Amino acid sequence: MKKLIFISILSISLSPARAQETRVFSGAEFVNYSVTDIAVAAGQKWSTERAALPGYFSAVDTATYTGCTNEVHIDGYIKKYGNKPFIFPIGDGTTLRTLEISAPLSSTDTYATAWIHGDPSADNDPTAPFAGAHPVTSVTAPVSAVSIVGQWDWQVGAAENLGAGTTGTGAGLFITVSIPDMTRFADASQLRLVGWNGSSWIDLSHSATANGNTAGSTLKGIMTSNISAIGIGKLMSVLPLRLENFTASKADCNTQLNWYTSSEFSMAEFIVEQSLDGTIYNTVTAVPALGNPSGSHYQITVTQPAGLAYYRLKMKDSNGAFVYSPVVMMRNTCADTEFMQVFPNPVTAGSPVVKLSFTTSYRGAAQFMIFSSVGQQLISKTIQVSSGQNLVSTDITRLPQGTYFIRVSGENGKPVGNGQKFIKQ
C-alpha cells in the first residue's frame, strides 16, 4: 500500500520576474473537491514530483480541473477518486496529453496517471508494480510495434495501492487518449492503444479506434487488469502482396536495392525511404508497382551518403493502406582512408586488364601483388604510391579463369588497405 505522508499544496516563487509554480512533492497530495480553473493565474505552472512515490493533484467525486491547454496543465501525476468519468489534463510542461476514463464501478475506485515523454524502453516509469524500462520491441500479436514518443504511467487503487480503502483494477474502463503526431509511425487505421503487462505490450483497442494520426487526434481502448503503462502501438497491415526479399548491396559508392514480391494485387507503389540515424526516414524515390500476380523483381540504385545509412520500403496499395518492410543497412566507405575498389569485376578475356583504385595516407614504394584462391603469388610489381588517390592497372592475359586476390603492402611490409577479390571469366 502506498501511504501519503501528508496532504498539502506548496507554492514556490521562482523569482520576482517569473511566475509562480505550484508543485506537489513526493508523498504529498493536493486534494480538489470542486472545480479548479488552473488557467486563472496567468503564467502559473502546475507540477508534481515524478518518483516511486509521486506527488499528486487529485480530484474527488465530481471535482475537475479546467482551463487546461498546451501552455497550462498538470506536469506530473493526477489521481481520481470515485465512480464518475474523468479527464486527466496531464502533460510534460509543454504539451497537453489528456487521458480520459469512463465511470468506474465503485465510489472507492481510484486511478492515477501521468504522461511520460520519451522512449518507454528507457528507464522512465518510476512507479510499481512494473517500474523501469518497457521495451518497445516486446510486443504480443497482433501488435507489431510501439511508438517511442512516450507513454502514460497507469496506477490502480486495487489492494489499497493508492491509499487506505482504495480499490479498482481498471478492468473494463474505456480509455481515450490524446496522441502526439503519429504520421511517421502509422496510418490511423493501424494505430492501437496498448498496455504494458510487465513483460509485453498488448492490444487494448481490438479494432481501429483512432480518429486520425496527427497531433491531438484521439485513440481509444478498453482497459484490462495488471496494466502499469499505456502506450501507442500499431498493427502490421495486411496488404495484397508478399515481400519475399529486400536487400542492399554496394554499387560503386552508391547503394543498390533489390526486392522480390509474390502474390502482388492492387498495389500502387513502393516508396523508398532512407535514414541516417535509423529513426527519422526521408523519401528517396517512389517506384510504381508492376502489379504482377505471380510477383516481380525491383531494382534501383540510390545515392549513398558517407557512412552508415538505413533503408526501408513503404509499400502502399491502391486504397492508400501501407506497411513497412524490414530495415536494411549499407555503409559507404568511399571517403574512408585506405578505401580500395577493384574494377572491372569480373574481368573478361576481351579486356584482360584489372584496375585497382584506392585512397591511402601511405606514401612511398609498395608491392602490388595478385594471389590465387589458394594463396599462391602469381604477379608482383613495385609501384609508387602517393598520399591520396591512386590507380594501378595490370594486364592479366596469362591468368586462367578463376578467383584472385589483390594485395598492396608498403616498404615495411604493412598492408595498404584491404585485400580485394576479383574474378576472371
* Domain containing residue 30: 6-235
> Could you tell me if 228 and 260 lie in one domain?
no
Tell me what pLDDT residue 264 has: 86
> Could you tell me if 66 and 48 lie in one domain?
yes
Tell me what pLDDT residue 8 has: 42
User: 267 or 339, which is more confident?
Assistant: 267
Give the integer Cα–Cα distance in Å for 214 and 131. 29
Assess if residue 1 is contained within a domain: no
The pLDDT of 244-260, averaged and rounded, is: 91
Q: Is 72 left (phi over 0), alpha (psi -120 to 50) or beta?
A: beta
Tell me what pLDDT residue 289 has: 94
Take residue 280 and report the three cell numbers written for it. 527519422
Assess if residue 255 is contained within a domain: yes
At which of 315, 332, 349 does a domain end? Answer: 332
Give the integer Cα–Cα distance in Å for 263 and 286. 20
Tell me what pLDDT residue 97 has: 98
> Could you tell me if 75 and 191 lie in one domain?
yes
Q: In the predicted model, what is the mean pLDDT of the chain? A: 89
Spell out a b/e string for 86-103, using b for 16 or more CB atoms within 10 Å of the CB, else e: bbbbbbbbebbbbbbbee
Q: What confidence tens digit (pLDDT) does each residue in 312-344 have?
A: 999 988 877 778 888 898 887 766 556 788 999
At which of 292, 315, 332 does a domain end? Answer: 332
> Could you tell me if 49 and 162 lie in one domain?
yes
8-state DSSP, 127: S
Q: What confidence tens digit (pLDDT) does each residue in 273-306 have?
A: 998 877 788 999 999 999 888 889 999 999 887 7
> Could you tell me if 127 and 225 lie in one domain?
yes
Look at residues 258, 257, 241, 248 and name the one whose alpha carbon lies nearest to residue 323. 241
CATH number, position 257: 2.60.40.10
The pLDDT of 66-75, averaged and rounded, is: 94
> Could you tell me if 260 and 286 lie in one domain?
yes
The overall pTM is greater than 0.85: no
Assess if residue 307 is contained within a domain: yes
Q: How many domains does the chain have?
A: 3
Look at residues 237, 235, 209 and name the one whose alpha carbon lies nearest to residue 222. 209
